[in-house]
């Protein structure tokens, strides 16, 4: 992680010493910071620029919404989410302080695999998908529901101990304090390859099914090694998106179908919930391709990607290997017949 040459360390709110810029977007920047009140603790500080061409009343409304949403996010407690620990306004910038998550994001992991002419292991990606669906189920169950709105490989971290974390929860103002039945949105409009049609445009509308589209598009990228065609391109050309099976025949048909449904252009055609998507994604049998992201040339493996087996029940195993089971039964009957022949 190299420090931006144009960046100068500075103190924010008399507590956080910004030491490096680690991300930047249209709405603001993310910094690695030292917490001076808790020596040894590092955190991620995201500064979001407040609108300047608005009146004082409108600005105060936005700040109130920012405060209410930050309080809600600070209550989130999930092992795969960074914890929000502080928020404030500093020089017309809304500031959000979160746990700093060390590790490599999945976009970098994809680049690494591509540079070695490899693809990520199917079983590993499906293991990550279970964790990500669990995160979304947790977020969408909140009252009001929390929608990430920018799920993509670069916003998913793989920690040094092999855990998945969904990061980058920058706040977007909703124009008022949230209440029951009102959806709190975090982040901005999203990134085009992973963004559903309903998020297009300024302040695009979205409900939890928007996150299901983004997650499905992310899984498409992780499994195929290429970003999917945007929803706009697919709307204009129904054949724009190449089928996963054409690129990666070893991906189970159940998984291929679940991702296709999750990426349906119309929200009503997508799975009803993250848990529904999870059930559809996990196939009874996922082949071990022997392909690992991060393997070195002599067959060894980095600790970056772990091999996660999927446990099958007896009934699932029998269904998945019906032809083999049938052949074994025929041979067994033949052996019994020969053994007990008078």
SS3 213: helix
> Of the listed 35, 105, 121, 150, which one is catalytic?
150
| Cα angle: 112, vertex 255, 122; to 5 degrees | 30
| Distance separating alpha carbons of residues 175 and 177, to the nearest angstrom | 7
| Length, in residues, of the chain | 342
The dihedrals phi and psi of 97, each to the nearest 5 degrees, come to -115, 130
CA gyration radius for the chain? Answer: 24
User: Residue 188 gets which letter from DSSP?
Assistant: S
246 has catalytic annotation:
no
SS3 219: helix
User: Residue 164 gets which letter from DSSP?
Assistant: E
User: Residue 297 gets which letter from DSSP?
Assistant: T
Q: Which residues are catalytic?
A: 150
């Amino acid at each position: 992680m190299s420090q931006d040459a144009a960046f100068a360390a500075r103190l924010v709110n008399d507590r956080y010493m910004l030491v490096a810029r680690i991300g930047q977007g249209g709405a603001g920047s993310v910094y690695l910071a030292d917490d001076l009140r808790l020596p040894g603790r590092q955190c991620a500080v995201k500064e979001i620029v407040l609108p300047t061409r608005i009146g004082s009343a409108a600005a105060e409304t936005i700040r109130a919404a920012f405060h209410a949403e930050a309080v809600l996010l600070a209550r989130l407690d999930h092992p795969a989410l960074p914890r929000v620990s502080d928020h404030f306004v500093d020089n017309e910038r809304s500031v959000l302080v979160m746990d700093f998550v060390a590790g490599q994001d999945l976009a970098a992991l994809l680049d690494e695999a591509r540079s070695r002419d490899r693809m990520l292991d199917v079983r590993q990606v499906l293991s990550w998908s279970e964790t990500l669906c669990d995160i979304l189920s947790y977020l969408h169950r909140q009252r009001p529901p929390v929608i990430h709105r920018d799920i993509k490989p670069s916003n998913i971290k793989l920690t040094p101990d092999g855990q998945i974390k969904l990061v980058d929860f920058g706040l977007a103002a909703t124009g008022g304090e949230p209440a029951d039945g009102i959806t709190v949105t975090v982040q901005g409009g999203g990134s085009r390859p992973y963004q559903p049609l309903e998020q297009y445009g300024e302040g695009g509308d979205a409900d939890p099914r928007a996150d299901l589209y983004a997650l499905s598009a992310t899984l498409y990228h992780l499994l195929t090694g290429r970003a999917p065609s945007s929803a706009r391109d697919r709307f204009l050309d129904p054949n724009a998106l190449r089928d996963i099976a054409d690129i990666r025949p070893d991906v189970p048909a159940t998984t291929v179908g679940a991702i296709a449904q999750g990426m349906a252009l119309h929200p009503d055609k997508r799975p009803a919930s993250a848990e529904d998507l999870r059930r559809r994604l996990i196939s009874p049998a996922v082949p071990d391709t022997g392909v690992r992201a991060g393997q070195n040339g002599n067959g060894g493996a980095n600790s970056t990607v772990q091999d996660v087996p999927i446990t099958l029940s007896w009934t699932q195993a029998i269904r998945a290997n019906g032809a083999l089971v049938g052949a074994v039964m025929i041979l067994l009957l033949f052996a019994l017949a020969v053994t007990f022949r008078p």
